[in-house]
Structure 1
């Protein structure tokens, strides 16, 4: 009987010891050939490319409980669904057309400009726009010098001043705001000259008018199961010190999970990387950290406004040149006209666009 008691005590002790083992030590590492960090547009398109090559040995880790990132965020207003995250697109639009999306080439120059008194000053705005555009074109030689490492990068405001542009009136300021601040989401004095130079080489913009019946990433979603997509996995560490890359998820030690892969693709937004909550082992090179910290993020907000009837023109954009001094930066500078024939006719909706702040 004594021998049996010793066996029972050993079994009980072993079970108790196992129950107190740190959860991170007890977790079994999950392995894959490829790890994709983030299930936003970049991560899902990466999965699409792998699947197109019949490569299925991958896992997507997403910190939230949904996929798609900003491209899947929608707002229902006035019986219409707005998708602010991917309203405008540029580049290769063939796959969007194959998915049945409706696309309309967008004309940012189809505007109407009014002052505080409601007077139409569009002709004057067109004149100032031509002067600004000429000065912007003249900055290309400065930008090319930066690209060729012949001179340091400078901000847009400095470059434009060097080429003779200086906003001297509310009209100048709204034209300048539309060309720079709205385009980038930040004030021009914080915009990189070379960054906007490269963007100016991009093809035309398109507005998505119809998202079809399937959605932007429906073809990928249909092929992702629980083995390939892990939601609610917040990545906290990427360790490249070994033969393979180890990725750790979990906000607390008790929640930690480890994933091991030959290759890891990081598709996190700049905002996530700038938070400093993701640890890299070894640390990122100094030059890369510097670029991550220097890059400025822009914020553009849209306020949906619905009226009893339409009282504005058919211009795509209605700009407001205000001389008010008691407001922060610009006073409701731009409105996107949604009540257009190829958008949402009869909706009586404008979208007020706000960006930037007073320094």
Structure 2
């Protein structure tokens, strides 16, 4: 019998603190609010690192408010299928990789540092372990992967020229075209390869993505750290490391962590902030750090009073919130090549139609699990997440039977996928930098509005879309606030207090603007395989 799961809002996991029901506070009529120095809104990576940074500077009077019943944010897992003994597997619904580990003698990605410290099980994703398919079955078009790589080397140089000469940004499509990657819309194989090389990472097409900042973002993660990506398969869940970090400054049953608590409104002035919950309770704080996703901000899921200023609302509306949807299937056998990690499918009619399939039954992952998952992004995520499980499963099975025409592909014994586009605490997966958008506009996305500060992967100019972006940005916001509260600014790189903001924007980004004040404290000119500028 087919078993189907939907995304869990309250996620089970190994939590080093004994957390009971969310504490109650205040009165439903708002006559009394709980007082604190800093209200941290969200217990994802940015929220937890913000709390840690405050603690490290002896600011311990804070409250962490979290919508869900566990910490981790979009680093969330669930159980799926079962092994031969009837035990379920743990699979990651959201963030799944440590991306860009580090180089010997060079900088190390902090997520990788914590993954090692907390013994997070992970396996190297070998992107050369790939077989290619179309609607007729196996069809070798891997030479196109080499062609795209050759083009990449060319357009990286072009992006650097645009940056240094203060030229206008253009789309990634224009950059690819300039480097002679010009696939016909009817060339299904080339379209699949392009999706694999670009959309799969950014959740947007080259036509919709910034050329300069797309390349800058890639360089700062994969050339500064390394081009290695490791898939997390830890049965405790990827968020185990974040729980470990939280356990270094939160005590068992710590009343500063408010789980299952939904923020409905934020009232702010130049002196303080009042946070109201959907049950009528409230918090009064000197400062708030809002770590809501860009999707939540764009949906107006929380009411700001007064309304956010025009420069802030424009920046929120300008940047893109992408969706990355993994669709898990378990079968009673592994009918695909068990020694191959990835399978790329070129649909003859629709770009991005269930293009990437990834085996978890391969050695190093969950061998013998008979689990494979497909991934869709962007518009296909919206389409798939809006339809029923039955409709989606029928499409997936049709694709699998086209890919493996010589196999009697059985029906799955388990099937599940999340619906990120409608989750009220995320409304998507991660952000992307759109075409023609300057660093000044992004700085406005980062900037505080009076005593409300913002942090998350979307506020990271260096690492937008990545977990480590959220890590650095939570730390940055907290250190700025701590410097004001303690009168001792330890945030050497970019200072304390308010962020720089731009009420008048320019059409291009001057090279001199690539600095720590604007969120880029590392040179974007990293060279592949060298870790050097």
- Shorter-normalised TM range: 0.7 to 0.9
Instruction: Give, in whole Å, the separation in 1 of the partners of 2:356 and 2:285.
Output: 47
Q: Aligned ranges for residues 224-303 of structure 1 at < 5 Å?
A: 225=253, 227-250=255-278, 255-303=279-327
Q: Which residue matches 1:59?
A: 63
Figure out how many residues of one structure are paired with residues of the other and give that number: 327
Q: Aligned ranges for residues 6-45 of structure 1 at < 5 Å?
A: 23-25=28-30, 27-45=31-49
- Contact 2:121-2:234 at 8 Å conserved across structures: yes
Instruction: Give, in whole Å, the separation in 1 of the partners of 2:342 and 2:162.
Output: 29
Residues 315, 132 of structure 1: alpha-carbon distance in 2 compared, 3 angstrom cutoff? farther
Query: Which of 304, 307, 319 is matched with 2:328 structurally?
Result: 304
Q: Which secondary structure state, in structure 2, belongs to the residue aligned with residue 319 of structure 1?
A: strand
Task: Answer with 1 or 2: which has the greater Rg.
Answer: 1
- Contact 2:41-2:292 at 8 Å conserved across structures: yes
Query: Which of 341, 345, 353 is matched with 2:375 structurally?
Result: 353
Q: Which secondary structure state, in structure 2, belongs to the residue aligned with residue 357 of structure 1?
A: helix
Q: Which residue matches 1:128?
A: 147
- Contact 2:91-2:233 at 8 Å conserved across structures: no
Q: Which residue matches 2:129?
A: 110
Instruction: Give, in whole Å, the separation in 1 of the partners of 2:51 and 2:340.
Output: 40
Comparing 71-80 with 45-54, greater Cα deviation is found at 45-54
Task: Please state which structure has a larger fraction of its residues in strand.
Answer: 1
- Contact 1:87-1:207 at 8 Å conserved across structures: yes
- Contact 1:39-1:61 at 8 Å conserved across structures: yes
Comparing 33-42 with 310-319, greater Cα deviation is found at 310-319
- Contact 1:115-1:121 at 8 Å conserved across structures: no
Q: Aligned ranges for residues 86-105 of structure 1 at < 5 Å?
A: 86-90=95-99, 91-92=109-110, 93-105=112-124
Instruction: Give, in whole Å, the separation in 2 of the partners of 1:174 and 1:285.
Output: 42
Residues 268, 105 of structure 1: alpha-carbon distance in 2 compared, 3 angstrom cutoff? same
- Contact 2:41-2:64 at 8 Å conserved across structures: yes
Q: Which residue matches 1:177?
A: 195
- Contact 2:134-2:345 at 8 Å conserved across structures: yes
CA RMSD of aligned residues (A): 2.8
- Contact 2:233-2:365 at 8 Å conserved across structures: yes
Comparing 129-138 with 168-177, greater Cα deviation is found at 129-138
Instruction: Give, in whole Å, the separation in 2 of the partners of 1:82 and 1:312.
Output: 21
- Contact 1:139-1:160 at 8 Å conserved across structures: no
Residues 109, 194 of structure 1: alpha-carbon distance in 2 compared, 3 angstrom cutoff? farther
Q: Which residue matches 1:19?
A: none
Q: Which secondary structure state, in structure 2, belongs to the residue aligned with residue 71 of structure 1?
A: coil
- Contact 1:190-1:296 at 8 Å conserved across structures: no
Deviation per CA, 1:314-336, whole angstroms, max 9, x where unpaired? 2321111232x2xx433321111
Query: Which of 314, 321, 328 is matched with 2:339 structurally?
Result: 314
Unpaired stretches in structure 1, ≥5 consecutive residues: 1-21
Unpaired stretches in structure 2, ≥5 consecutive residues: 1-26, 84-88, 100-108, 384-533
Instruction: Give, in whole Å, the separation in 1 of the partners of 2:273 and 2:289.
Output: 11
Instruction: Give, in whole Å, the separation in 2 of the partners of 1:44 and 1:66.
Output: 12
- Contact 2:64-2:256 at 8 Å conserved across structures: yes
Instruction: Give, in whole Å, the separation in 1 of the partners of 2:233 and 2:77.
Output: 16
Residues 38, 102 of structure 1: alpha-carbon distance in 2 compared, 3 angstrom cutoff? same
Instruction: Give, in whole Å, the separation in 2 of the partners of 1:268 and 1:67.
Output: 13
Instruction: Give, in whole Å, the separation in 1 of the partners of 2:40 and 2:336.
Output: 49
